[in-house]
Amino acid sequence: MKTLVKISKFIDSISERIGILAEYLVLITFTVGFLNVVLRYSGRFFGFRLTSNLFIELQWYLYSLIFFFGFAYILKNNINVRVDFWYAELSPKKQALIDFVGHLIGLIPFCILGLTVTYSPVLRSWGLLPDGTWGTWEMSPDPSGLPRAPIKSMILVAFALLLLQAISEMIKLVAILTDHEEEVELVIPDAPLRIE
């Protein structure tokens, strides 16, 4: 179990760092969006074109990265949306069992399906042709746009990070179910609000 816990902690550290990167991307996205608006209206005022589609596409690329990099961080810190009618009232072992089954039949197959389904389109975006040779990257149809291949590749990265974090969570859940919870760092969700 100790080896699995070390693996879990390593995965958690990756998810935490990527999540912090996503937080900084929020600031960068805001800055790019703000500058894009200022330059567009300043350009109209002075009669010059000061911005291009590159900045608009950069903004939505960064916005996408916030979500792609945030998925594993959200799962690790247990800040995902839950609908707790009765879950919060259960014992930690019963909660762990429910989460274990949910991860096993829902989250992990979803991640594997996501990786499987997006793999070929990402390769085609990088220029893989049906005959197995390589052509040019998929580019934006807009003038001055960005290539599509790098951002499409982030879909694979997001699913891979989420799958790794799901495995880490499974290790923690097994630790709870086998009475080794003292070996893992658990993130307990806040108790739901109650109206009495």
Q: Running along the chain, 196 residues long, what does each successive block of 10 average in pLDDT?
A: 87 94 95 90 81 88 94 90 77 90 95 96 92 88 89 96 96 89 62 43
State residue 191's pLDDT score.
46
Q: Calculate the alpha carbon distances from 16 to 12, 20, 72, 128 in Å.
A: 6, 6, 8, 33
Residue 158 is encoded by which pair of tokens?
Answer: 């997001």
Q: Cα 47 to the chain's mean position, in Å?
A: 41
pLDDT of residue 114: 96
N-to-C CA span, the chain: 43
How high is the pLDDT of residue 186? 59
Say what the pLDDT of residue 196 is: 42
The predicted model scores a pTM of 0.85
Q: Decide: 166 and 111 in contact? Cβ < 8 Å.
A: yes
**In 3-state terms, what secondary structure has residue 139?**
strand
Q: Which two tokens stand for residue 162?
A: 């989420």
pLDDT at position 86, please? 80
Q: In the prediction, which pLDDT does 145 show?
A: 85
What is the reported pLDDT for 80?
Answer: 78
In our burial notation (b when 16+ CB lie closer than 10 A, e otherwise), range 132-171 reads eeeeeebeeeeeeebbbbebbebbbebbebbbbbbbbbbb
**Sequence-separated (6 or more) residues with CB below 8 Å from residue 195:** none
pLDDT at 194: 42
